[in-house]
Amino acid sequence: MKRLLSSIAAGLLALGTGCASRPVVVAPVGPNPNGIQSQASTGSLQVFSRMAARDDDQNMAGDGIPIWHQYTEYRIYQPDGKLVKTVINSVGHYSDRAEVVALPPGSYMVKAQAKDYFWVNVPVRIEPGRTTRVHLDQKWRPPGNAPKNEIVTGPDGNPLGWRAPAP
């Protein structure tokens, strides 16, 4: 029994240490350099965070099998760390589309869940009339002819988005 309790304590300590670890930080992501630009004075952000299973079986009376998936919520911060917005990241109750958020031009930090990581901090640049997309779900593939130095990748090598131009 003592050995079992020691094993459980060691496992909980390892789990707690893993949860307290610092988020992964990557290079700044910006809009597609070849994308369409509108005349709008604001820009927009779309984050494809980790997908999570959802169901409506709130009282647990059914079989508990998830019936749809949605992108997980994320937070947008100013460079000084002040929270700008928490984004639910769904355009409807059963939707599997990521929400598009309008933002004033500037630099921000997005804190979101990625497919194989607890949390990722992604610096983003928002430009007027353009959309910055951050792909944390490992589904995006840049065009084959895109120069490697224009793509931001995560620690695992998966592409996350277009590199933001230097200010």
- pLDDT in 10s for each residue of the chain, 167 residues: 444 333 333 343 333 434 455 666 689 999 998 888 898 999 999 999 998 877 766 555 556 566 778 899 999 999 999 999 999 998 877 778 999 999 999 999 999 999 887 788 999 999 999 999 999 999 999 999 999 999 999 888 999 999 998 87
Closest CA to 110 of 118, 102, 119: 119
The answer as to whether 9 is a domain residue is: no
The answer as to whether 79 is a domain residue is: yes
The answer as to whether 135 is a domain residue is: yes
The answer as to whether 121 is a domain residue is: yes
Give just the sign of the alpha carbon dihedral 26, 31, 33, 35: positive
Both tokens of residue 165? 């131009």
The answer as to whether 4 is a domain residue is: no
| pTM, to two decimals | 0.80
The answer as to whether 156 is a domain residue is: yes
The answer as to whether 63 is a domain residue is: yes
Torsion of CA 35, 37, 40, 41, to 10 degrees: 80
Give the number of domains in the chain: 1
Give just the sign of the alpha carbon dihedral 53, 55, 59, 64: negative
The answer as to whether 3 is a domain residue is: no
